[in-house]
Chain A
Amino acid sequence: MTEQKFTLHVREFTTTPGPRFKEDGHYSGQEFREDYLLPRYLEAVKSGACLHVILKATKGYASSFLEEAFGGLVRQGYKKSEIRKHLKIHSNDRPWYEPEIYSYIDEA
């Protein structure tokens, strides 16, 4: 793993995360994955680095948002083992989101 650090703050996308799909409402997990998470993830993978996703400074996350954003990577064809290797979730102020997100990746 290289030293270069790739970081994605969810607040770059929104401070009020919404539903699962784009057609269900504003700031969906699908939109976050397609427009923010996946491009940055691929960039990190290409550089052999890890993408650090920072969850803080937003309102609460619905399970469907998180599942669609992170579990959706697996359904899009990316290997679970690779995702676990190149993606690190940071949620110090609300630590329960970290295992929740990893479980969505593992169960997808």
Chain B
Amino acid sequence: MGTFPEMMLLRICLLAGSGFYDFVKSNVRINNSAIGIIEKCGDSYVDPEKVAELLDMVARHMKMTVDQEDGHQTTAIECMTNTIEHASGNQPSRKCEKKWWFSVYYDTRNNVAKFAFVDTGIGIFESLKRRRFPLFGSIKRSEILKLLLADSTDRNSIKPKDRTSTKLSHRGKGLPNIARRNRLRIISNNVYADVENNQYLMMEQNFSGSIICWKYSTQNHEQHDD
């Protein structure tokens, strides 16, 4: 997670004292063309055109079909929408913190695209807590995430109006769409999910926001749209 040890002594001895920081600002230049291409963008509102621009590059290199490209486009937009809708909770004063970054790394050697979405909002669970999501507090956060990501069949255990943090039945369909991606991993607040391996874990450290990563390779086609 990149957080410092809580004990001051450890911070000084282990990190600063060890000379670790001498190597953080590396002078080594990585030749992008030999390893891959990275493109990134970021903003505080949903920008489908920017995402399309980024994905066009990967789609061209990987010879993705229109449907495959669409799947990634949709997922990125769902992530951004979640950031905008959830990031400030119901505190307008936090509006400035609705910020997201989206990057696509195309590994030319292995013909794999790696997608990463990060937002500095309040995270899924803090948002659910503020909006008094009915299951909040009664079951573990990791279990809640599992339910929110599940398809409509599994989600029958939650009443439609309770599926979304907004408590409106027409909301809350974005996370199951995100769950369609391959090798999907999510960190939000203190929950880590490796969706493909059905691992939903509680973390000791809390991250304020969400990180959503997925991969695409020509070897692992997703069901219908990726």
Taking CB atoms and an 8 Å cut-off, the chain B residues in 72-88 that contact chain A are: 72-74, 77-78, 80-81, 84-85
CB distance from B89 to the nearest CB of A (A): 15
User: Do the beta carbons of A26 and B224 come within 8 Å of each other?
Assistant: no
Number of A-B residue pairs, CB cutoff 8 Å, is 88
* A-chain residues with CB within 8 Å of residue B77 when the two chains form the complex: 17-19, 60, 62, 65
- Interface residue tally for chain A (C-beta within 8 Å): 28
User: Do the beta carbons of A64 and B66 come within 8 Å of each other?
Assistant: no
Does A47 belong to the interface (CB within 8 Å)? no
Interface range for B: 20 to 34
Taking CB atoms and an 8 Å cut-off, the chain A residues in 67-108 that contact chain B are: 67, 71, 75, 93-94, 96, 104, 107-108
Q: List the interface of chain A (C-beta within 8 A of B).
A: 14-20, 24-28, 59-65, 67, 71, 75, 93-94, 96, 104, 107-108
Q: List the interface of chain B (C-beta within 8 A of A).
A: 45-49, 51-52, 66-67, 69-74, 77-78, 80-81, 84-85, 160, 169-171, 173-174, 177, 224-225
A-B contact pairs, 14 of them (CB 8 A): A16-B48, A16-B49, A16-B73, A26-B46, A26-B48, A60-B73, A60-B74, A60-B77, A60-B225, A61-B74, A62-B74, A63-B173, A64-B173, A75-B170
